[in-house]
Amino acid sequence: MKKRGWEELDFLVISGDAYVDHPSFGHAIISRWLESLGFRVGIIAQPDWRSTEDFKIMGRPRLGVMVTSGNLDSMLNHYTASGKKRKTDPYSPGGEAGLRPDRATIVYCNRVRELWKDIPLVIGGIEASLRRMAHYDYWGNDVRRSILADSRADLLVFGMGELPVTEIARALSQGRDASRLRDVPGTCWKTHDPENAADAVILPSFEEVRSDKKVFAQAFKKFYLEQNHARGNRLIQDQGAWNVVQNRPARPLTEKEMDKVYNLPYTRAAHPCYDEAGGIPALEEVRFSIT
């Protein structure tokens, strides 16, 4: 920050993966994209979640914090299908396991809230996307509520994040309240009053899908049929204390936009601080790929 002459960040990105500046890594794409829009961005990769010390190393960002568990759901990253603990993590230095917590998105967000209770907090990535409504959790063998409710985040970005993040970042820079950003395609938000999403398709509630497998299947079908950016409708699901609303999915990037994303100045390398540990194994199979 000192070398760039920055007194503070605009956005802080927290990731469960080690820092690799390559477009196969979501944190690199979103950070480079925000940078291309003129925002000052910092990344904290694999912070120690047992305290808030690592989370505050760059100070409080001016506009908000964005959190991702990394390129994999953190539970899949840690456990095999038979429930055994994995011995390695290809997204960590030297393949070392155990450098992120279980349910990393929730844990990281709770640490952020300990530090800055009122800061705009946005979650995204595969863990958030797949857990955006009530969902079956294989490792707990139960149905869990939306990760948006459990993480205490303001917004959840699902799917490709470049367009939603652009709208969110610009809105926050204009002084809009994160908890009132309810019109961004490709995002989920929460409300106590379901009348705030009166136009939404109503999904069976968390309690209903948790207690009845047939209702769960019906809810999933209803959810699945609305995942088209051109014809999909808003969805709403009662999660108990909150109602979670999913907006229509974001449109795909145009060819020109896609080219811009992948022409950003990635170094296509892991941070040199990982060299001594042997680098990041996951980079090797994608180092020379376009995406």
Residue 97 token pair: 């396991």
What the block records as the tokens of 43 is 């990344």
Alpha-carbon distance of 216 to 175, in angstroms, equals 39
Spatial separation of the C-alpha atoms in residues 172 and 165, rounded to whole Å = 10
Per-residue DSSP letters for the chain? -TTTT-SS-SEEEEESS--EESTTSHHHHHHHHHHHTT--EEEEES--TTSSTGGGTT---SSEEEEE--SS-HHHHHB-TTSPBPSB-TTSGGGBS-SS-TTHHHHHHHHHHHH-TTS-EEE-SHHHHHTSSSEEETTTTEEE--HHHHHT-SEEE-S--HHHHHHHHHHHHTT--GGG----TTEEEEES-GGGGTTSEEPPPHHHHHH-HHHHHHHHHHHHTT--TTT---EEEE-SS-EEEEPPPPPPPPHHHHHHHHTS----EE-GGGGGGT--HHHHTTTT---
> What does the pLDDT profile of the chain (291 residues) look like in tens digits?
888 889 999 999 999 999 999 999 999 999 999 999 999 999 999 999 999 999 999 999 999 999 999 999 999 999 999 999 999 999 999 999 999 999 999 999 999 999 999 999 999 999 999 999 999 999 999 999 999 999 999 999 999 999 999 999 999 999 999 989 999 999 999 999 999 999 999 999 999 999 999 999 999 999 999 999 999 999 999 999 999 999 999 999 999 999 999 999 999 999 999 999 999 999 999 988 877
Q: Compute how many other C-beta atoms are within 10 angstroms of the C-beta atom of residue 219.
A: 22
> Which tokens in the block code for residue 252?
């795909």
Under a CB-based contact definition with an 8 Å cutoff, are residues 74 and 46 in contact?
no
State the CB neighbour count (10 A cutoff) for residue 119: 17
The whole-model pTM stands at 0.95
Q: What is the pLDDT of residue 259?
A: 95
Domain ranges for the chain, please list them.
11-284
Q: 105 and 74 in contact (C-beta within 8 Å)? A: yes
Q: Which residues are CB-contacts of 245 (< 8 A; sequence separation ≥ 6)?
A: 182, 188, 189, 190, 191, 196, 197, 200, 234, 235, 236
Find, among 43, 24, 46, 45, the residue nearest to 34 by Cα: 43
- CA 221, distance to chain mean position in Å, is 24
Report the pLDDT value the prediction gives residue 291, as an integer from 0 to 100: 73
